[in-house]
Amino acid sequence: MAAALVVLLAVLLPSPVRAFGDSVAFSPRVLLVGENRVTGLRATAPAHWSWELTRRTSAPARLAPEPVRADSLALVAEPFAWWLGDDDPGSLTPRELANLQRFFTLGGVLLVDDTDPQSGKFGAGARRELRRVLPDSTPVSIGTEHVIFRSFYLLRRPFGRVEGPATLDAIIRGGNTQVILLSNDLAGALAQDSAGLATLPVVPGGEEQREMAIRLAVNIAMFVLCSNYKDDQVHAPFLMRRRSRDLR
């Protein structure tokens, strides 16, 4: 009888729920594809992004975000990933392809950040692979009427280490923006040296342009938080599943 009671209680009692800040803080996780890695000063950009978000807003953020592999199940544990690079990323493996498809089905948001838009090799390669991941979706141009430009700061255009195009491209599915395609090197604008000082030159607008790039990063984070899980006290995977219902 005692054993039966223990089993019954295990079934009826609610399982622990993780707290808001523990499970739903914004995490600018760098997406690792194949053997690609982010090294050098840009490797400091994710932590700086989180720090700026917590300094300027009341939003929670992971201050030491860890990279995530495209073929890892950890990808779907949180609803945001940051794919950046300066060269053709190569072809996604079948496992990476399937995992990214699951990420988007659950409502994930991916930022594609070309750190060398002058050559355009990374941007072109990433778009090619995204056509394999989302063959039914095509990038479209979005302007300042989009919530990304208004989620916290009012911005007139995208910003990064370089001026780049005056508009963003995005993949929108079921009314939800799931891929943001940036050709301004946001990571370069956020990069810091070991002393925490910005080092990569921002052209042509200098430090004022860097400030605008930081504001864009804050806006993207607030867009992700508000779109997915800002006011919920539950697991991010559940929130992504809930959001996926809106995409159907």
85 found inside a domain: yes
pLDDT of residue 176 exceeding 70: yes
189 found inside a domain: yes
Q: Region 128-137: what's the mean pLDDT?
A: 98
Q: For residues 122 and 109, what is the distance between their CA atoms, to the nearest angstrom?
A: 19
pLDDT of residue 127 exceeding 70: yes
Q: How confident is the model at residue 36 (pLDDT cuts 50, 70, 90)?
A: confident
More confident residue, 59 or 241: 59
Give the residue numbers spanning the domain of 241. Answer: 24-247
13 found inside a domain: no
Q: How confident is the model at residue 243 (pLDDT cuts 50, 70, 90)?
A: very low
The full DSSP string for the chain is: -HHHHHHHHHHHSPPP---HHHHS-B--PBEE-TT----GGGGGHHHHHHHHHHHHSS--B-SSPPPEETTSGGGGGSSEEEEEESS---PPPHHHHHHHHHHHHTT-EEEEEES-TTT-HHHHHHHHHHHHH-TT---EEE-TTSGGGTSSS--SS--SSB---SSEEEEEETTEEEEEEE-S-HHHHH-B-TTS-B-S--BTTHHHHHHHHHHHHHHHHHHHHHHHTTT--S-HHHHHHHHHHHH-
More confident residue, 237 or 82: 82
What integer pLDDT is reported at residue 227 of this predicted model?
Answer: 76
Q: How confident is the model at residue 149 (pLDDT cuts 50, 70, 90)?
A: very high
CATH classification of the domain holding 114: 3.40.50.12140
What integer pLDDT is reported at residue 22 of this predicted model?
Answer: 38
What integer pLDDT is reported at residue 195 of this predicted model?
Answer: 87
The domain tally of the chain equals: 1
Q: For residues 58 and 247, what is the distance between their CA atoms, to the nearest angstrom?
A: 28
99 found inside a domain: yes
Angle CA 148–144–141, to nearest 5: 85
pLDDT of residue 12 exceeding 50: no
Least confident of 28-42, 89-103, 221-235: 221-235
Q: How confident is the model at residue 172 (pLDDT cuts 50, 70, 90)?
A: very high
4 found inside a domain: no
Share of the chain above pLDDT 90, in %: 77
40 found inside a domain: yes
How far out from the chain centre does Cα 98 lie? 18
Share of the chain above pLDDT 70, in %: 82
Q: Region 198-205: what's the mean pLDDT?
A: 95
Q: For residues 248 and 173, what is the distance between their CA atoms, to the nearest angstrom?
A: 9
What integer pLDDT is reported at residue 244 of this predicted model?
Answer: 52
As a whole number of Å, the CA-based R_g of the chain is 19
76 found inside a domain: yes
pLDDT of residue 239 exceeding 80: no
Q: What is the pLDDT of residues 61-86, one digit of tens each?
A: 999 999 999 999 999 999 999 999 99
- Residue-averaged pLDDT of the chain: 86
14 found inside a domain: no
